[in-house]
Structure 1
Amino acid sequence: MSELASESTAQRESTGESTGESTGESTGESTARRAFVPWLREHSELGVSALLLATGVLVLADVLTAPRSGNASDPLGPNAVPFLLGGLLLLLAVLLTLDVLRGGHGEAEAGEDIDLAVPADKRTVLILAGVIVATAALIPLLGWPIAGTVLFWGATYALGSRAFPRDLLIAAGVSLATWLVFDALLGVDLPGGPLMGLI
């Protein structure tokens, strides 16, 4: 009987040890997980590093797989600037990662006076979105001067201005001025619509 009792005690001890070990391992994993989440919050700038790294890799991959055009008058070729840009993005990602891991943090903007408890003004956002969609639809039909007038006047209306004649005149003047500058001076072909026959 004493032998059987000692064997059962030994079995219970071995079972308890193995259970304790597995419980200790799971507790250690959960503790490590709990400690990792605050660390990620304190080093959230690493997300920007990851974004820069991914963008740089995409740019370089696109440059390396793009067809090469041999032109004697252009020894650098069209891939030089994208290649340089991709390399700079990778360098920025590495430098930002090192800075964050050494304890660097971005400073919060002190000049912003935003109450995060106030919900977004959905009406204003929807009006602005509608104005932008209407402008994109009107450009090929009526030209930039008229579509631009709709854009500028609609934006002022969405943001709260109700001075109808003044806002409309200013919007028309700004739209016409930008069309003249881009189309006539800079050579950017903006559709003029009905005004093409008048000017």
Structure 2
Amino acid sequence: MTVWLRERSELGVSALLLLVGLVVVVDSLLGSVAATSSDPLGPHAVPLLVGALLVLLAVLLARDVLSGGHGEAEGGEDVDLTVPADKRTVLLLAGVLVATAAAIPVLGWPLAGTGLFWGATYALGSRSVPRDPLIAAGVSLTTWILFDTLLGVDLPGGPLMGVFG
């Protein structure tokens, strides 16, 4: 029995997909928000469709696995799987993300985002001091303006709010 399950480990993924799909379907059907005259489908239509597709995907995957199909092991392409992970880079990136999350309420997105993008490039090995911070500032400022004006997402501006806001 153990060997049979080990050879069909994708059934675990299928079970997880089925569980998530059923939770989404049940939650969207039991939702208390009703459809309105301007939106006859209501807000539960998309979650219901996604949940139904997850259930369908789970059934199709289980059928494929039970009829002998299985996924291929990761080949690694150009990645040497024998080399251990670069913990320094991972820790630097994690530190940059945590520092950015803490800095956004204080400095606002443009300055914190500049630190995020510059810190990420530094952690990944780039050391071009005049170029990297300028590009990081440009990307951060551009995303802030685009999110604020086009998408209507109010990202905190921090000290730059008076200049650009």
Name the TM-score, length of structure 2 as normaliser. Answer: 0.90
Alignment correspondent of 1:93: 58
Q: What is the aligned residue count? A: 164
More divergent stretch after superposition (107-116 vs 59-68): 107-116
Partner of 1:164: helix, strand, or coil? coil
Alignment correspondent of 2:142: 177
The one of 102, 117, 120 aligned to 1:137: 102
More divergent stretch after superposition (39-48 vs 49-58): 39-48
How far 1:173 sits from its partner (Å)?
A: 0.9
Alignment correspondent of 1:193: 158
Read off the aligned partner of 2:68 and give its amino acid letter.
G
Partner of 1:124: helix, strand, or coil? helix
The one of 63, 66, 76 aligned to 2:31: 66
Cα deviations by residue, 1:46-65 (Å, 9 ceiling, x for unpaired): 12101101111111221233
How far 1:112 sits from its partner (Å)?
A: 2.1
Q: Which has the larger radius of gyration?
A: 1
Provide the rounded CA distance (Å) in 2 between the counterparts of 1:179 and 1:70: 35
Alignment correspondent of 1:8: none
1:75 maps to 2:58 = no
Alignment correspondent of 2:117: 152
Read off the aligned partner of 2:9 and give its amino acid letter.
S
Read off the aligned partner of 2:115 and give its amino acid letter.
V
RMSD, aligned α-carbons: 1.7
Q: Which consecutive unaligned segments of at least 5 residues does structure 2 have?
A: none
Cα deviations by residue, 1:25-64 (Å, 9 ceiling, x for unpaired): xxxxxxxxxxx33322322211210110111111122123
Provide the rounded CA distance (Å) in 1 between the counterparts of 2:110 and 2:80: 38
Distance 1:100 1:57, change over 3 A: same
List structure 1 segments (4+ residues) > 4 angstroms apart after TM superposition: 108-111
Alignment correspondent of 2:77: 112
Partner of 1:115: helix, strand, or coil? coil
Q: Which consecutive unaligned segments of at least 5 residues does structure 1 have?
A: 1-35
1:40 maps to 2:20 = no
Alignment correspondent of 1:13: none
Cα deviations by residue, 1:56-115 (Å, 9 ceiling, x for unpaired): 111122123321325222211111111111111111100110011111122345562233
More divergent stretch after superposition (81-90 vs 104-113): 104-113
How far 1:164 sits from its partner (Å)?
A: 2.0
How far 1:136 sits from its partner (Å)?
A: 0.9
